[in-house]
Amino acid sequence: MNNVSNYYEMIDEDSRFSRNSRKTEFLTTTHVLDEILPHGAKILDVGAGAGAYSFHYAAREHEVVAVDLTPKHIEIIREKSKQTGIKLEAYVENATDLSRFETGVFDLVTCFGPMYHLTDVNDRYCCIRECLRVLKTGGHLAIAYINKYSVIPMLATRDQKFIRDSVIDKVLTDGVIFAGDQDCFWTDAYFTSPDEIERLLGAYGVTPVDHVGTDGISHTIQEYVDKLSAEEFDAWLSYHFQTCRERTILGISTHGLYICQKNR
Domain boundaries, the chain: 2-261
Q: What is the pLDDT of residues 146-193, one digit of tens each?
A: 999 999 999 999 999 999 999 999 999 999 999 999 999 999 999 999
- What's residue 12's pLDDT? 66
Q: Alpha-carbon distance 36 to 217, whole Å?
A: 25
Q: Where are the beta strands (DSSP E) in 37-88?
A: 42-46, 63-68
pTM above 0.85, yes or no: yes
Question: Residue 148 in 3-state DSSP?
Answer: helix
The CATH label, of 3.40.50.2300, 3.40.50.150, 3.40.50.20, 3.30.420.40, for the domain at 2-261 is: 3.40.50.150
Residue 13's pLDDT is 65
Q: What b/e sequence results for 201-224 when a residue is b if at least 16 CB atoms lie within 10 Å of its CB, and e otherwise?
A: beeeebeeebbbbbbbbbbbebee
Interatomic CA distance for residues 192 and 175, integer angstroms: 6
Q: Which residues of the chain have pLDDT under 70?
A: 1, 7-8, 10-15
